[in-house]
């Protein structure tokens, strides 16, 4: 059964800011990057647990997209009962790993 992928307000903002940064440097590649990252996120509809565990208790997962040095991390959680995947945060992989409190669940 397919899951519904929901992107939160913070994740939308993250995605928009990342797109603007890439577009400022590489306008020809920015749209393709955006579409490919979005396709990777939507692939969680059919494979919600494909990302690696992000924390010790395993409630959060991360989906990595891109190639070094341009790897992007989408942090999400799977809500099994609701058959939903919530995208909580998207960031460049070179940034420090966010702490649990940074995600404001």
Q: Residue 57: enclosing H or E segment and its boundaries?
A: none
Stated pTM of the model: 0.81
CATH class of the region 4-98? alpha beta
DSSP string, 8-54: -HHHHHHHHHHHHHHHHH-HHHHHHHHHHHHHHHHGGGT-TT-SEE-
Distance separating alpha carbons of residues 61 and 64, to the nearest angstrom:
10
Q: What is the pLDDT of residues 55-96, one digit of tens each?
A: 766 689 999 998 888 889 999 999 999 999 999 999 876 555
Q: What is the pLDDT of residues 48-60, one digit of tens each?
A: 998 888 776 668 9
């Amino acid at each position: 059964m397919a899951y519904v992928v929901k992107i939160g307000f913070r994740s939308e903002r993250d995605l928009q800011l990342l797109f603007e940064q890439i577009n400022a440097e590489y306008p020809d590649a920015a749209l393709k990057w955006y579409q490919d990252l979005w396709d990777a996120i939507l692939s969680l509809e059919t494979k919600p647990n494909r990302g690696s565990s992000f924390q010790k208790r395993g409630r959060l997962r991360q989906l990595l997209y891109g190639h070094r040095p341009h790897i992007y991390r989408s942090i999400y959680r799977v809500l099994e009962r609701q058959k939903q995947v919530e995208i909580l945060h998207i960031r460049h992989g070179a940034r420090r790993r966010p702490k649990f409190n940074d995600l404001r669940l």
